[in-house]
Amino acid sequence: MPDAPLDLPATQAAQLDWDATGQPLSRLFGDVYFSKQDGLAESRHVFLANNDLPARFSALGDGEQLVIGETGFGTGLNFLCAWQLFESQAPAGARLHFVSVEKYPLNLSDLQRALALWPELAPLAQQLLGQYVALHPGFQRLMFAGGRIILSLLIGDALELLPQLDARIDAWFLDGFAPAKNPQMWTPELFVELARLSVPGTSIGTFTSTGYVRRRLNDAGFKMRRVPGLGNKWEVLKGQFVGSAADAGKPWFARPPQRQRERRALVIGAGMAGCASAASLASRGWQVTLLERHANIAEEASGNPQGVLYLKLSAHGTALSRLIVSGFGYTRRLLERLHKGHDWDNCGVLQLALDSQEAQRQAQLAAAFPSDLLVNLDQASAAAQAGIQLPAGGLFYPQAGWVHPPALCRLLAEQPNIRLQLHREALQLRRDGQAWQAWNGTELLASAAVVVLAGAAEIKRFPYSAELPLKRIRGQISRVPATPQSTALRSVVCASGYIAPARLGEHCLGASFDFKSDDLGLNSADHAGNLALLEEISPDLAERLHSAQLDPAQLEGRAAFRCTSPDYLPIVGPLADRPAFLEAYAVLAKDARQVPDTPCPWLDGLYVNSGHGSRGLITAPLSGELIAAWLNEEPLPVPRDVAAACHPNRFALRTLIRGQ
């Protein structure tokens, strides 16, 4: 499946002016962010009351959710007001999902200044500010109140990003500056998207009473009416969607129907993917059993002392590249909850440009992405940044760094709703009525209606997932003792390999790639190879580490298997019955453009989170959210085509279409 030829959304930070009363104004649009008289009261009236949210929040049951969609996140005032109301009205087991699209995000200091206007929102504003990091173009997910409040910020133009959203919105906040000042946004194309994402009964509120907006929303399937506004504003609009629900799209990527069932899940494998899947379900009130065959979690690929948050991006907005930007933001915000300096560090990552081809690729990336994500550094600046001499300049990712993966796994797995069972190896997976059972020979280990297979390439042992094209690639890292001279290293530096600043007196140097070996014993050839990678990164650092005197046969290290798919995208989502799938869609072998309306033969309740290759720190945590979104009928945390690009069904589809 080709990646969508999308341009990256053009974004830049909002340019603000502040009036005499301390209120923010947009320089670009020449308009206010909220009513000058009383922004809080206006927000509560136009968006909360006109969407009937006080009553709808109170009516939610445990385990239920309400999804709000907004155009124009701005200062987040509407979000915080909705959150505050939700806290006071909704039962403890309900969740609020807020999806907001923003083309010109405020920078952190402007956001801080704007939100200081509302002291009564301060406790919530502090939490928003604390998570307002690594917000780069595309889909960004932020979690609050232990996952009870989920914010999906879509950074980019509403007209570009809403078509990529897979969600069912219950209430719309139609904001986004006055139509006369921002006619580019208030278009029929936008209203068609609002309708696509609505179901009968979806409500909508907006501060404008413009006739054009009312008529076009009516045309799109909403029934709008004028109602009294507040203060100077005589009238505003509110309405309901009365059109018909949109077509679900291609059946093989559609959402599997979620029948009523106990919210219990079994996750097999406690590496990054399993811990993340368990955490995302547990934070939504699921009772999760997490099975791990070893004595502890994170004993395989996720067990290295240091892993790098390394963003291998494309300037062409490929699905993989957009997944990486979203996943990086999500992981990076999770790390804010860990002990900096011990469990992770945002020391920055420098990717050296050692040849002209790489330099050219990096120049394209620097042109395509904002400078708070990556910047080009010349050799002298790169060396100053890294604290050591370097053979070249390169791309610097200032918000990236290294992570101690077991600490991130522990953060995810240590939750009250997760029951971790160690020394439990699932050898067989069986279907018994509505339940999936994990067995070890004659011993039933656990069972549940939902199972997430998160055992990396080991999931191929189960017949249901045996055909997924997962491959193991052995990798070995070397643990190099720090020296007084090597502590000058201040950033992670990568070329063909990588080295991180010292953690607990050691640098992690990696890593070898071996497609053939099945042996996890350490070998000195790979240590020697890693030392050669160090020499390529920086002869100066190699000297500081006395690498010439290090005996590869004596070096300590660690070996594990990466698990990759042929297209380097992870495999995340619901599994279908492969023989039934091939039969149901056999017509595609003759004509790939057909979209039969045969429902996909899902293996009810069976999900996969695997294939994270060399970048699991970035992709696996967000993939846990993707699994939870499928299972809870929530907005997906990634664009529709990215979810499709990660979908397990893509391989069976290719088999049909290409006869592979």
Ligand X SMILES: Cc1cc2nc3c(=O)[nH]c(=O)nc-3n(C[C@H](O)[C@H](O)[C@H](O)COP(=O)(O)OP(=O)(O)OC[C@H]3O[C@@H](n4cnc5c(N)ncnc54)[C@H](O)[C@@H]3O)c2cc1C
Residues making contact with ligand X (CB under 6 A): 268-274, 291-294, 299-302, 304, 307-308, 310, 425-426, 454-456, 458, 475, 477, 510-511, 560, 562-563, 610, 612-618, 620
Q: Find where tokens 């592979």 sit.
A: 660
Cβ atoms of residues 397 and 373 within 8 Å: yes
Q: Which of 51, 78, 289, 476 binds ligand SAM (CB under 6 A)?
A: 78
* 177 lies in the site for ligand SAM, by CB under 6 A: yes
Cβ atoms of residues 330 and 140 within 8 Å: yes
In the structure encoding, which two tokens stand for residue 339, read together?
A: 């002990």
* 437 lies in the site for ligand SAM, by CB under 6 A: no
Task: Select from ligand SAM, ligand X, none the partner in contact with residue 614, using the beta carbon and a kind-dependent cut-off of 5 to 8 Å.
Answer: ligand X
Separation CA 124–CA 118 (nearest Å): 10
* Closest by Cα among 89, 92, 76 to 145: 92
In one-letter notation, the amino acid at residue 383 is: A
Q: Which is nearer to ligand X, 503 or 612 (CB)?
A: 612
Tell me how far CA of residue 184 lies from CA of 75, 116, 192, 197, 240, in angstroms. Answer: 21, 30, 15, 20, 24
Task: Select from ligand SAM, ligand X, none the partner in contact with residue 74, using the beta carbon and a kind-dependent cut-off of 5 to 8 Å.
Answer: ligand SAM
Q: Which is nearer to ligand SAM, 156 or 613 (CB)?
A: 156
Cβ atoms of residues 303 and 406 within 8 Å: yes
Could you please report the per-residue DSSP string of 250-311?
-GGGSPPP--S--SEEEEE--SHHHHHHHHHHHTTT-EEEEE-SSSSSS-SGGG-S-EE---
Task: Select from ligand SAM, ligand X, none the partner in contact with residue 182, using the beta carbon and a kind-dependent cut-off of 5 to 8 Å.
Answer: ligand SAM
Tell me: cis bond preceding 315? Omega within 30 of 0 counts.
Answer: no
* 530 lies in the site for ligand SAM, by CB under 6 A: no
Task: Select from ligand X, ligand SAM, none the partner in contact with residue 3, using the beta carbon and a kind-dependent cut-off of 5 to 8 Å.
Answer: none
Q: Which of 16, 46, 85, 158 binds ligand SAM (CB under 6 A)?
A: 158
* 104 lies in the site for ligand SAM, by CB under 6 A: yes
Tell me how far CA of residue 502 lies from CA of 389, 397, 475, 615, in angstroms. Answer: 17, 19, 20, 21
Residues 6+ apart with CB under 8 A from 636: 165, 166, 167, 626, 629, 630, 643
User: Measured at CB, which residue is nearest to ligand SAM?
Assistant: 72
Task: Select from ligand X, ligand SAM, none the partner in contact with residue 102, using the beta carbon and a kind-dependent cut-off of 5 to 8 Å.
Answer: ligand SAM
Tell me how far CA of residue 44 lies from CA of 235, 496, 609, in angstroms. Answer: 15, 54, 40
* 72 lies in the site for ligand SAM, by CB under 6 A: yes
Cβ atoms of residues 243 and 591 within 8 Å: no
Q: Find where tokens 């445990």 sit.
A: 62
Q: Which is nearer to ligand SAM, 74 or 317 (CB)?
A: 74
Task: Select from ligand SAM, ligand X, none the partner in contact with residue 176, using the beta carbon and a kind-dependent cut-off of 5 to 8 Å.
Answer: ligand SAM
Task: Select from ligand X, ligand SAM, none the partner in contact with residue 75, using the beta carbon and a kind-dependent cut-off of 5 to 8 Å.
Answer: ligand SAM
Where helices occur in 39-161 by DSSP H, the ranges are 39-42, 53-58, 77-89, 108-115, 122-130, 158-161
How far apart are CB 561 and ligand X at their closest, in Å? 6
Residues 6+ apart with CB under 8 A from 483: 544, 545, 546
Q: What is the DSSP letter of 340?
A: B
Stretch in the footprint of ligand SAM (CB under 6 A) among 3-11, 99-107, 225-233, 376-384: 99-107
* 57 lies in the site for ligand SAM, by CB under 6 A: no
Q: Which is nearer to ligand SAM, 33 or 651 (CB)?
A: 33
How far apart are CB 15 and ligand SAM at their closest, in Å? 10
Q: Which is nearer to ligand X, 229 or 616 (CB)?
A: 616
* 205 lies in the site for ligand SAM, by CB under 6 A: no
Q: Which is nearer to ligand SAM, 35 or 619 (CB)?
A: 35
Task: Select from ligand X, ligand SAM, none the partner in contact with residue 291, using the beta carbon and a kind-dependent cut-off of 5 to 8 Å.
Answer: ligand X
Q: Which of 14, 409, 412, 638 binds ligand SAM (CB under 6 A)?
A: 14
User: Site residues (CB under 6 A) for ligand SAM?
Assistant: 14, 33-34, 72-78, 101-104, 157-158, 175-177, 182, 185
